Chain A
Amino acid sequence: MSVNTNDKKVDAKRRLLLAGCAAGGLGVMAIAVAQPKDRVIKVTAKRFDFSPSVIPLKRGVPVILELTSLDIPMGFNAPDFGVRADMVPGKVAKLRFIPDKTGEFTFYCDIFCGSGHESMSGSLVVT
């Protein structure tokens, strides 16, 4: 009887352990599902505009900007997030970052592209 009792105790422990593992596994899966997915936003530049010029983002949600230019080499610079990339015609540059603060932040062309260059900017609106 005692042996059986012990066996039952061992079985119970194993069941708890397995249940724990299963729960843990489910937990890990749940976290994986809940992790924010990278948003992909295409941004094109042409003298002297960005499209879109206003980019809505979520704080803490990673974003990948796919950047290209339709005419001449441009730059995409968002100094508040310490990121920049060249925008070259015929190529797509991917810029991934996670907005870590809310508010409205300027991005701008940082490669001189003509007399409208000074007004070539847009906003990252992070909520």
Chain B
Amino acid sequence: MNNGINNDPGNGVDRRGFLRLAGLGGVIFASGLSGWAAAADSMGVAGAEDFFFVQLSDTHWGFEGDVNPDAKGTLQKAVATVNGLEQVPDFIVFTGDLTHTTDDPRERRQRLAQFRDIVAALKVKTVYYMPGEHDAALDNGKAYQEFFGKTHYTFDHKGVHFIVLDNVTDPAARIGDEQLAWLAADLKQQPADARIVVFTHRPLFDLYPQWDWATRDGAKAVELLMPYSNVTVFYGHIHQENHHMTGHIAHHSAKSLIFPLPAPGSQPKRTPLAWDAAHPYQGLGVRTVKPEPRPRNTEYTLNELAVGAAKS
């Protein structure tokens, strides 16, 4: 278990403080561990139901390399980790890069099929998928859709409106006008105080464009979301945790399940961090968000569950 604090110097808000802010915007819905109901009451969130979900990201099935000598086993360990959680999550969402890129359309389909078969072992049967650029950019999502259906959609769960946005099947990292119009039409159906959670693969804001950590028209999506007071975005792509605010909208990235990447701009190239045999699976895993209700103050604790911690 890794409880290290990851601060984002870019916005001057440490993680604990950030989550306190973000908690009002929706990250609380990623929790639901014991105590959430009391926390919700203390924050005046009426009618909130206790639930939690797990975000898994960037599994890159098919990748081989020294940066993860267990590339063929990490996904299975993640499945075991989730299956071993004390409380069963309501659902699981994969935020893209399910598979690693291949030019061969047949190999791409093989990898997608293998990925699908491995995650079929998840005890949680409600699983939402979305593509990453490695899955879908070279064929505009054709193979991906054969296995997992639409690349953008919405669903509702216990009073929360979830929106899955596709910013990868266009290899130029555009959401595109058509999807933006669809987003605008969907949002029009929501009241201004709707609890909205957005899933994307790439960040919607310019995190570090020099490493292609951006969405070319992401600002248009953020603009559409801005009138809504309770919005949180969860994304993948950057293989590490990062927390950022665009106005009142909180953006949280997920760790990867294949290899960690360096902090934005911390080195000339975004080459993956080397595997540390002394600390296997460091930087890889899933996280839980636990609210801690106090009489006049609600704080959140992030616990990182390394994949290696799973019983295999």
Interface residues, chain A, with chain B CB atoms under 8 Å away: 73, 75, 77, 79-80, 106, 108-115, 117-119, 121
Contact = CB atoms under 8 A, between A and B. Distances in A.
B73 interface: no
A112 B270 contact: no
A51 to B, nearest CB: 17
B269 interface: yes
Contacts of A111: 171-172
Interface residues of B, number: 22
A118 B210 contact: no
Nearest to B132: A112
In this complex, which of A75, A108, A111, A112 has the most chain B Cβ atoms within 10 angstroms of its Cβ? A112
Contact of B101 (A73, A77, A115): A115
Nearest to A109: B212
B173 A112 contact: yes
A118 B100 contact: no
In this complex, which of B133, B210, B211, B270 has the most chain A Cβ atoms within 10 angstroms of its Cβ? B210
Given A115-B100, A115-B101, A115-B134, A110 B216 contact: yes
B189 interface: no
Given A110-B216, A114-B103, A79 B138 contact: no
A77 to B, nearest CB: 7
Interface of B: 100-103, 133-134, 137-138, 168, 171-173, 206, 209-212, 216, 268-271
Contacts of A109: 212
Contact of A119 (B134, B172, B269): B269
A106 B268 CA distance: 9
Nearest to B62: A115
A87 B269 CA distance: 22
A26 B131 CA distance: 64
A9 B138 CA distance: 82
A114 B172 contact: no
Given A110-B172, A111-B171, A113-B171, A119 B212 contact: no
A119 B206 CA distance: 18
A103 to B, nearest CB: 13
Contact of B138 (A108, A110, A112): A112
A117 B138 CA distance: 11
Contacts of B103: 114
Given A114-B101, A114-B103, A121 B210 contact: yes
B42 to A, nearest CB: 43
Given A111-B172, A112-B133, A112-B138, A117 B271 contact: no
B103 to A, nearest CB: 7
Contacts of B216: 110
Nearest to A110: B212
Contacts of B206: 79
B212 A117 contact: yes
A48 B134 CA distance: 15
B211 A118 contact: yes
